[in-house]
Amino acid sequence: MADRSTQHSGFRCRKTLSCWFALAVLLVVSSFMICLNSTGRPHFVDRNLLPADKVFSVIEKANNPPRLPIEERAVNVEQPLFDEIEIRQEEKARDKCDPSNAVLKVYMYDMPPEFHFGLLDWKPDGKSVWPDIRANIPSYPGGLNLQHSIEYWLTLDLLSSNFPDRVGPCNAIRVYDSREADIIFVPFFSSLSYNRYSRVIPPETIFRDKLLQQKLVRYLASQKEWKRSGGKDHVIVAHHPNSMLDARSALFPCVFILSDFGRYNPKLANLEKDLIAPYKHLAKTFVNDSAGFDDRPTLLYFRGAIYRKEGGNIRQELFYLLRNEKDIYFSFGSIQGNGISTASQGMQSSKFCLNIAGDTPSSNRLFDAIASHCVPIIISDEIELPFEDVLDYSEFCVFVRSSDAIKEGFLMKLIRGIGREEWTRMWERLKEVDRYIEYQYPSREDDAVQMIWQALARKVPVIRQKVHRSRRFLRFPTGK
Ligand SMILES: *[C@@H]1O[C@H](CO)[C@@H](O)[C@H](O)[C@H]1NC(C)=O
């Protein structure tokens, strides 16, 4: 059609300006027509601006389960289809959270509250096992408890992942049919359970944390989702090194979210299967940090107990090596209460912060240092670091082998040898990466919550492969 009209008007009026003009208009119109595809819609129009068409709404359906009241969701596993109005509503929410960009579909068990918000003294009102977090968010206890509060932030993020007015990103969305899910999330607040209930309170004869773990094992074993995969696609947060002590060996095929592997048998937990998550730092994040090399008078900052059990001997040795050096600040004990702002100030005015293995290879000190943009010196041979598949820690941390660190003069020579330029490069990088360790609700782009979901998404192909392999002989079982 476009060809015919060009031919038709091509040669009649050669010399007049208006003829050239007409030709130009024709060219524009015909090129526009060529741009149209078979549906009559131009290729270059952003499809987000168009009303939902058939293909589009199928994607939407897959990614946006209808928002039923929570109790109905729990009972009604088979989801009714979306209607047109619902799709339109989702379209509006698109600029805030785009579920079709989610990288992870998560099924979360509607477990009894005693496993999660009940541990925060929240009482269910009989309607749902979950609090209405839009009305009121049960708060997590402060102080040192907070450093392992990972379970809480992940659960809040999932509970809000389908809110129509959700702000911020949603790498993970909650689905209500477990067959659609990439992973199955177990909302047990295990660190809190350990922190609060690991002592026997008469008349009980066994502490509640242990009881809850036994209950959890029984609960999971009876779920069809667990039976289907043997737990391989289940995600369990056990960030406190002593949490899940009794249940870990029963649940080990799952993906654990941990602080390190210090207290785990390598068969139960390892880097290939599990995920390392940052501690929630206690020091304040240094916002708008302009305190560069010359604004930080202390060369090296150390905080922590000097005398530790297992693996912590090196602290003592280092203390005796370093105590007479200039520009070094030692602070003993952990930070809590009023100590937090003093510690923050200390780290914000130091160039380097020392992180030495204690009872366990990791500690929240590293994350306090990152938040304070104090270049971490890491002396911990067994440490595991969060998101190391996407983060190169050597860009903003200095690693020293324990065997080197205790050589007379080694550490100070190394540290004094790092000049302004090199230090500033690391400091600039710290200012970029500090958001990856931030836990908050609502979650923001690339904060710790989103980083964890993304890291889990990278594990999904391996998880799937394992689940499929384990199913080879299940369909037509051959007798033994
Ligand atoms: C940081 O800087 C931004 C932009 O200049 C400003 O809006 C914000 O209030 C500052 N925040 C703090 C805590 O100083």
DSSP per-residue letters across 305-336: -S--STTTHHHHHHHHHHTTSTTEEEE-S---
Find the angle CA(276)-CA(149)-CA(384) to the nearest 5 degrees: 20
Query: Tokens 């306090």 sit at which residue?
Result: 368
Task: Provide the terminal-to-terminal Cα distance of the chain, rounded to the nearest Å.
Answer: 72
Q: CB-based contacts of 346: which residues, under 8 Å, 6+ apart? A: 298, 301, 303, 329, 331
Ligand 1 mean position to 115 CA, how many Å?
A: 39
Query: What DSSP element (H or E) covers 257?
Result: strand 255-258
Ligand 1 mean position to 289 CA, how many Å?
A: 10
Question: Which structural domains are found in the chain, ordered by start?
Answer: 7-93 (no CATH), 102-276 (no CATH), 293-437 (3.40.50.2000)
Q: Give the sheet arrangement for strand 350-356, strand by strand.
A: 328-331, 298-303, 350-356, 375-379, 398-399
**Residue 418: φ, ψ to 5°:** -90, 110
Ligand 1 mean position to 286 CA, how many Å?
A: 11
Q: Which atom of ligand 1 is nearest to the CA of 287?
A: 13
**Residue 328: φ, ψ to 5°:** -110, 135
Surface-to-core class of residue 334, CB atoms within 10 Å of its CB (0-12 exposed, 13-18 middle, 19+ buried):
middle
**Residue 331: φ, ψ to 5°:** -135, 130
Residues 96 and 334: their CA atoms lie apart, in Å, by 39
Digit-coded pLDDT (tens) for 416-445: 999 999 999 999 999 999 999 999 999 999
Q: Which of 284, 286, 288, 290 is the best mutation target for the ligand 1 pocket, counting ligand atoms within 8 Å of the beta carbon and taking the most?
A: 288
Residue nearest atom 3 of ligand 1, based on CA coordinates: 288
Ligand 1 mean position to 284 CA, how many Å?
A: 15
Q: Which of 285, 286, 287 is the best mutation target for the ligand 1 pocket, counting ligand atoms within 8 Å of the beta carbon and taking the most?
A: 287
The beta-strand segments (E) located in 18-171 are 104-108
List residues near ligand 1 (CB under 6 A). 287-288
Digit-coded pLDDT (tens) for 354-383: 998 877 888 899 999 999 999 999 999 989
DSSP per-residue letters across 195-237: HHH-S--TT-SS-HHHHHHHHHHHHHHT-HHHHHHTTTTEEEE
Task: Write the Ramachandran bin of 52: left for phi over 0, alpha for psi from -120 to 50, otherwise beta.
Answer: beta
- For residue 27, the model assigns a pLDDT of 61
- For residue 25, the model assigns a pLDDT of 61
Ligand 1 mean position to 374 CA, how many Å?
A: 20
Strand partners, 235: 185, 255
Q: Which atom of ligand 1 is nearest to the CA of 288?
A: 1
Is the Cβ–Cβ distance between 195 and 240 less than 8 Å? yes
Residue nearest atom 13 of ligand 1, based on CA coordinates: 287
Give the three-state DSSP class for 351.
strand
Residue nearest atom 8 of ligand 1, based on CA coordinates: 288
* pLDDT by position in tens, the chain (length 480): 333 333 444 344 445 556 566 556 666 555 544 444 333 333 333 333 333 333 333 333 334 443 433 333 333 333 333 444 444 444 444 446 788 889 999 999 999 999 999 999 999 988 899 999 999 999 999 888 999 999 999 999 999 999 988 888 899 999 999 999 999 999 999 999 999 998 888 887 889 999 999 999 999 999 999 999 999 999 999 999 999 999 999 999 999 999 999 999 999 999 999 999 999 999 999 999 999 999 999 999 988 777 665 555 788 888 888 888 889 998 776 667 777 888 899 999 999 999 988 778 888 999 999 999 999 999 999 899 999 999 999 999 999 999 999 999 999 999 999 999 999 999 999 999 999 999 999 999 999 999 999 999 999 999 999 999 998 888 887 765
Task: Provide the percentage of residues in the chain whose pLDDT is more than 90.
Answer: 62
pTM: 0.79
Residues 208 and 205: their CA atoms lie apart, in Å, by 9
Q: Give the sheet arrangement for strand 234-237, strand by strand.
A: 172-175, 104-108, 183-186, 234-237, 255-258, 275-276
Q: Which of 361, 360, 304, 358 is nearest to 335 (CA)?
A: 304
- For residue 282, the model assigns a pLDDT of 93
